Structure formats: C-alpha cells, structure tokens
Amino acid sequence: MATEQKHPYHLVEASPWPIVGSGGAFVMTLGGVMYMHEMAYGGALTMVGLALVLMTMYFWLRDVVREAVFQGHNTPVVEIGSRYGMLLFIASEVMFFLAFFWAFFDFALYPRGGVWPPGGTEVFDPFDLPLMNTLILLLSGTTVTWAHDAILRGNRQETLIGLGLTVGLGFLFTLLQAYEYSHAAFGFTDGIYSSTFYMATGFHGFHVIVGTIFLAVCWFRAKAGHFTPESHFGFEAAAWYWHFVDVVWLFLFLCIYWWGA
C-alpha cells in the first residue's frame, strides 16, 4: 500500500537515451564543422555522431511504445501533456521557418542590387514541378486524414491503406524535389537568392523525409494493432506534423516559387 501510485502521472524510469542522444548530436555537429573545414576525420566523426543519434531515436521510440502499449502508462493526463509537448515542438519549428522567410523577404523587398531576383538568375517555373509537388502534398493531407478517421472507426485495413498512400506520396514528393534540384540553373553558393531558396526549400524537404519516416513507423504500429479508437496519440502526433509540413509548403509555393520569382 505504501508503494501504490495515487496519481495519474507517469514517472519515467532512468533512461540512458537523453545523454546518448545529446552526445551523438554534439559529435555529429563537431564532425560536420570539421568536414566543412576540410579537417581530417571530419566525415568519419559525422557518421559516428549520426549513428548514435539514429540509435537513440530507435531505442527511445521502442521504450515509449512499450510504456504506452504494453505497460499502460498513457493515462489521459499523460496524453494531454504529450499533446502540449507536440504543439510546442511544432511552434518551435514554425520559428525556424519564420527565420528563413524573414531572410528571403528582407532581400526580396529591399534588394541590394535594385532588382529581385538578382539579374541573370534563372528561376523555376512555379506552375511546373512546384505545382505538381503542391498537389501531391495536398493529396497526402487528405489520405492521412482518411487514415485518422479509419482509426476512430476501428477499421485497421483502411488505416493501413491511408497511411501507405501518405508514405508513398511523401516519398514521391522527395523524388520530385531531388529531380528539381538536379535541374536547377543555380547552386547553393551562387548568390543570396539561391542561398535563401535552398535553405527554405531544403529545410522543408528534410521535414518531409522525417515526416515520411514518422508515418512509416505508424504504419508498422497500426499493422501490429497498437492504435485503438481510444488511444492513438502516436499517430495523431505524426498527422499533426504532416499537416504542418503541408501548410509550410503552401507558403513556400506562394511566397518563394510564385511571388518571389
């Protein structure tokens, strides 16, 4: 009776993954700086740090899934805290993109050479591949919503179909973005337009890759029966993240590809 838990909060056990992940991030950053300065072992150090970060992500996610699905620690109070945490994380991501948009508009509205884009810059046609990618992401937003609705109805087959389509569309978006980059008439260091363009769209592309992996993990979890109509926050977090990625792309398409060109 003295050890009986009298509150709905989950007191997590001691975990090695925060310190391992932090150390891996530090090693990866240090290796990346060394590599960009052409120092010895920079690339190898970066790969070691990346391996530690990926290992942390896998094992930490394994522990969280175990706590939620098999140990029953995801009480309503715990899920509320998780939702607030995810919302704050997305808010921090909004600040990241706000900084990139700020840089772009600063140079676009007050061009140093008097014209924007800078003279001689061959920009992308916004109604070619960029429009195609916009339609792909908008469609993926509907398929992930379909998957969510299927979870609420307890239909596992439709959940898997909706998630599978979303993952496939995310992968297709990444392929088309890579194809677009390979046919760009400017490089990352060819001027302020190219630098701000690649930073904003490239950072978004990285988020698409992360979101696709996030949803792919949810597909395997859904197949294993981890999600129920009453408890499926892991999927909700992935869906929120994916919708955030969709909305950011709409701003990128309108502001950078169309207006900025």
Question: What string of DSSP letters covers 123-188?
Answer: ---TTTHHHHHHHHHHHHHHHHHHHHHHHHTT-HHHHHHHHHHHHHHHHHHHHHHHHHHHT-SS-T
Residues 119 and 233 reside in one and the same domain: yes
| 30-65 per-position pLDDT tens digit | 999 999 998 989 999 999 999 999 999 999 989 888
Q: 42, 73, 104: which is the final residue of a domain? A: 73
Confidence of residue 238 (pLDDT cuts 50, 70, 90): very high
Q: Count of domains in the chain?
A: 2
Would the pLDDT of 1 be above 60? no
Report the sign of the C-alpha dihedral through residues 69, 75, 81, 84, in that order.
positive
Q: 31, 56, 73: which is the final residue of a domain? A: 73
- Tokens 């838990």 appear where? 5
Q: Residue ranges of the alpha helices (H) in 70-128?
A: 76-109
Residues 58 and 157 reside in one and the same domain: no
Residues 107 and 217 reside in one and the same domain: yes
Mean confidence (pLDDT) of the chain: 91
Which CATH number characterizes residue 120's domain? 1.20.120.80
Residues 131 and 187 reside in one and the same domain: yes
Residues 188 and 130 reside in one and the same domain: yes
| 145-179 per-position pLDDT tens digit | 999 999 999 999 999 999 999 999 999 999 999 99
Percent of the chain with pLDDT over 70: 97
Residues 136 and 244 reside in one and the same domain: yes
Q: 48, 73, 98: which is the final residue of a domain? A: 73
Distance CA 23, CA 13 (A): 20
Residues 28 and 62 reside in one and the same domain: yes
Residues 129 and 218 reside in one and the same domain: yes
Confidence of residue 3 (pLDDT cuts 50, 70, 90): low
Distance CA 29, CA 23 (A): 10
| 170 vs 66: which has the higher pLDDT | 170
Confidence of residue 113 (pLDDT cuts 50, 70, 90): confident
pLDDT given for residue 35 in this prediction: 93
- Tokens 């599978």 appear where? 164
Residues 44 and 80 reside in one and the same domain: no
Residues 54 and 155 reside in one and the same domain: no
- Global confidence as pTM: 0.88
pLDDT given for residue 5 in this prediction: 66
**Alpha-carbon distances, residue 176 vs 74, 144, 194 (angstroms):** 39, 20, 18
> Average pLDDT of 241-257?
95
| 209-218 per-position pLDDT tens digit | 999 999 999 9
Radius of gyration of the chain (CA): 21
Residue 222: closest CA among 210, 239, 213, 234: 234
Side-chain half-sphere CA neighbours of 76 within 13 A? 1
Give the H/E segment covering residue 241: helix 233-252
Residues 163 and 151 reside in one and the same domain: yes
- The whole domain housing 178 covers 75-259
Distance CA 194, CA 49 (A): 29
Report how far Cα 17 is from the mean position of its chain's Cα atoms: 21
Distance CA 20, CA 41 (A): 21
Which CATH number characterizes residue 63's domain? 1.10.287.70
Report the sign of the C-alpha dihedral through residues 199, 24, 58, 72, in that order.
negative
Residues 2 and 41 reside in one and the same domain: yes
Distance CA 83, CA 161 (A): 25
pLDDT given for residue 77 in this prediction: 81
